[in-house]
Amino acid sequence: MNWIALVIAGIFEIGWPLGMKMAQQSDNNSKYVWIASAVLSMGISGALLFYSQKTIPIGTAYAVWTGIGAVGTLVVGILFFGDSSNVFRLLSATLIVAGIIGIKLF
C-alpha cells in the first residue's frame, strides 16, 4: 500500500507545476483556481510522501517521488505545451527512470 501511495504522490507532484503553468496562461478569473489546485496538489503529494515513508526508506521514497514528478512534468510539457522532445531530453529522462529502478532494486 505504501508503494501505491508513493506513486500517487508522484503523480500529484506533477500537478503543482502544471497548475502554476496554467495559472500563467489563464485570465485573472481562473488564475486563482489554478493556483489553488497547485497548492492542493502540493499538499496531497507531501502527505502521501509522508505516509509512504513509514515503510519505504527516505532516499528511495524521495528519488521515486521526484523522479515521477520530473519525468511526468517533462512528458506533460511535451504533450500539451509544445516543449522540445529532442533525443537528448528523452535520453536524459530515460536515465532518470533507470536510476530510480536501480535505487529500488539495489
pLDDT digits (tens, 9 = 90+) for 57-91: 999 999 999 999 999 999 999 999 999 999 999 99
Q: pTM of the full predicted structure?
A: 0.90
Rounded Cα–Cα distance for residues 104 and 13 (Å) = 19
pLDDT band per the 50, 70, 90 thresholds, residue 104: confident
Domain boundaries, position 21: 2-105
pLDDT digits (tens, 9 = 90+) for 14-39: 999 999 999 999 988 899 999 999 99
SS3 track for 33-97: HHHHHHHHHHHHHHHHHHHHCCCCCHHHHHHHHHHHHHHHHHHHHHHHHCCCCCHHHHHHHHHHH
Number of domains forming the structure of the chain? 1
